[in-house]
Amino acid sequence: MPDITNQISRARALLGEFRHEEARRVLLDALRRSPADPDANNLMCYTLAHMGENDAAHHYARRAAELAPNSPGVIVNLGNTLAALGQDDEAIETLSRAVTMDDSPAVRNALAMALCGAGRLIQAMEFLRDSMALFPGEVSLAADLAWAYHDAGRTDQAAVVLRDALARNPDQPNLAASLAAVMNYIPDASPEAVFEAHASYGRVLERLLPPPAPPALRDPNPERRIRLGIISANFRDHSVGFFASSWLERLDPSRFDLVLYDTSAKADRPPTTRPHTLRRVAWLDEGRLEHAVRSDGLDMLMELSGISLQHRLALMHLKPAPIGLTYIGYPNTTGVRAVDWRIVDSITDPPGAEARATERLARLDPCFLCYTPPTGVSRPANTIGRPFTFASFNHLHKMNEPLLQLWARVLDAVPGSRLLIKATALRDAGVREDLARRVERAGLDAARVEVMPPTPTRGAHLALYAHVDVALDAFPYHGTTTTCEALHMGVPVITRAGASHVSRVGVSLLHAAGLPGLVADSDDHYVELARGLATDPARMARIRSTLGNGLVGSVLCDADAHTRRLETLLRGIFRDACAASTP
């Protein structure tokens, strides 16, 4: 009969090899024999949490905490499980108790993550500043503080924290990636400086992870079926999924053999109804993931994250497939030279944009995106008897000081108008107060600005467009999903064109929606467009007529045509690779 200690050691070894299902079986047997063992219960909680089974993990976390109430590791596991279940108040109370038991960077990091996840950004910033004073060189705490600043709309402060941490830790890829991502939001950052931040991230990977030789194409027949791998954490209820589903559901299975690598721990349903092979790889480290992908014998591997949460760009750097591509999820270069192609269009990345990309640019014209509108959502009737209303439903970190000043000019140009701002971060009362101060400093009349926390459902979010006349896009980081949603609900969007992809996505979307006249080429033009719409009811009526069926029927929602164009583009890339591989 196996000893409980040996079984726990065996389960730990299996977890170290990312063999979670086998570890669960070992632990189930151990708990049948010793149901009151706190270590076995705690390890089972950890195992199930890493398999995305948070409800079951919660059961074992509670049991472990009852059996070992003074164990910091057990209490941290319970707090993390509560946070994953959205039980924010109890999670924060539990992790605060853990800090009193073990005041270490790791436990403080867990509490900080819970505070940020609960939207308590101001509290998280205060706690993390105190933590940094106690542990000034701790990388994880610096990264947490930077992202708390970022989510609260203080991207300039986030960049300062990250630059300082990188100066102390120049070979930390997470810090380099975070700085590159934050730079997209800084209004006075030059395109060259933003590119250099991304290229620097790629160079860190190259120093730390010398890649093996890439695999050769299995068969250089340019017309054969392409084995296409796609990796993402966001196949489902996420902005990336709203755009990827349009073509994932339509790729010709006779031309493409799909292998999907799902890095989400919350996977619940297949990413597509089309024939595919699904690999759930959330907890594989880069080495094991690289081996698994390489073993699948892909021709192409496409990643859909760029430098965003849960990205796996280190895998792309290791080049497990002959051709690497990046698409949809990020509005800039990855900085990773092993990624061969980035899919864009001629508006987002006009000729010359190659100078600011480590990848080759594959232009999918007329628009690189295809939007899938929500089903079962009807356009609400526009409310009457209210002031003319401008709105932004973008993330708060897109709302910088120059942008707020630009919006102040818009309201000044349209007497009696008002501005509605809604963002996820505004569920925190402290963040709302902080935004109110920023609004006042920007010259906006607080009495004409309504600040709104997030709505509980997507349907409720979309219904708010009944109270909006014109949506104002952010700058320099344009909206994408928010722009498509506004247009689909019949609300025109004004955007300001910039010099790089991040500030040209809205331009591409408006062209695809048949509304190029809503693109401004300067701040003055942006204000004039807003004033013109507000004072020209006939033009507003024409635009609403153009959007009579939302975006249905526009290039932006023509999924069949978009998919055929994407297939042609991928086939062209594959043909070139086949030709290059033939002696």
Interval 169-201: pLDDT, tens = 999 999 999 999 999 999 999 999 999 999 999
Query: Residue 386: what pLDDT?
Result: 85
Provide the pLDDT confidence category of residue 550 given band limits of 50, 70 and 90: low
Query: Residue 504: what pLDDT?
Result: 98
Average pLDDT over residues 524-534: 97
Is pLDDT at 481 greater than 90 in this prediction?
Answer: yes
**What mean pLDDT value characterizes the chain?**
93
Taken in order of first residue, the domains within the chain and their CATH numbers are 31-190+197-207 (1.25.40.10), 226-370+561-581 (3.40.50.11380), 389-556 (3.40.50.2000)
Provide the pLDDT confidence category of residue 375 given band limits of 50, 70 and 90: confident
Query: Residue 267: what pLDDT?
Result: 60
Please state, for a pLDDT cut of 90, what percent of the chain lies above it: 82
Distance CA 578, CA 392 (A): 47
Average pLDDT over residues 324-351: 97
Could you tell me how far CA 6 lies from the centroid of its own chain?
Answer: 41
Is pLDDT at 549 greater than 80 in this prediction?
Answer: no
Is pLDDT at 383 greater than 70 in this prediction?
Answer: no
| C-beta separation of 350 from 335 below 8 A | no
DSSP-derived secondary structure letter, 339 = -
Low-confidence winner among 112-116, 300-304, 552-556 (lowest mean pLDDT): 552-556
Classify the C-alpha dihedral 28-34-36-41 as positive or negative. negative
Q: What 3-state DSSP class applies to 86?
A: coil
Using only C-alpha atoms, the chain has a radius of gyration, in whole angstroms, of 25
Query: Residue 242: what pLDDT?
Result: 85
Query: Residue 188: what pLDDT?
Result: 94
Average pLDDT over residues 351-371: 97
Higher pLDDT: 218 or 583? It is 218
C-alpha distance from residue 120 to each of 13, 115, 151, 404 (Å): 37, 5, 10, 23
Q: What is the pTM of this model?
A: 0.93
Q: Which helix (H) or strand (E) covers residue 57, if one does?
A: helix 54-67
Query: Residue 384: what pLDDT?
Result: 67
Distance CA 70, CA 355 (A): 57
Chain position carrying tokens 């308590």: 120
For 47-77, what is each residue's pLDDT tens digit?
998 888 889 999 999 999 999 999 999 999 9
| C-beta separation of 512 from 537 below 8 A | no
Query: Residue 94: what pLDDT?
Result: 97
Average pLDDT over residues 358-365: 98
Query: Residue 79: what pLDDT?
Result: 96
Average pLDDT over residues 224-228: 97
Average pLDDT over residues 250-260: 96
Chain position carrying tokens 């079962």: 376
